[in-house]
Amino acid sequence: MVIDMTREKQINHIFDILYQYEQIGIQDSNVTLETWRNYLNRLSIRYNGSNNQEVYYYINGLINETNLTHKKVKQIVFHIISIISNESVGE
């Protein structure tokens, strides 16, 4: 059960990538491209440290991509969620 909660928290953190991206530039939002990338950097370090290289590479791709669109961010976020959802319980 603890693993499922961890997985749920991981998914929430990943989904927050999209939510924050959507908040960039909204008048009453505190989210900027810089704060969004800072969030991605923190997640990147976390997934690198936990040896989840596939998720780590996707997050770094978002950090380094210079031509991001909402569609691309959404596709990557849902792909990462799929990866996390399908991980074996022992991983």
Question: What's the pLDDT score for residue 1?
Answer: 37
- The predicted-structure confidence for 13-26, as pLDDT tens digits, reads as follows 999 999 999 999 89
- The predicted-structure confidence for 27-42, as pLDDT tens digits, reads as follows 999 999 999 999 999 9
Question: Domain ranges in the chain?
Answer: 2-23+30-69
HSE of 25, CA atoms in CB hemisphere, 13 A: 3
> Is the pLDDT at 2 greater than 50, yes or no?
no
Rounded to 10 degrees, the C-alpha dihedral 61/65/70/73 comes to 0
Question: What's the pLDDT score for residue 88?
Answer: 64
Measure the CA–CA gap between 7 and 12, rounded to whole angstroms.
9
pTM listed for this prediction: 0.87
User: Average pLDDT for residues 1-11, to the nearest whole number?
Assistant: 69
- The predicted-structure confidence for 48-89, as pLDDT tens digits, reads as follows 988 889 999 999 999 999 899 999 999 999 999 999 998 865
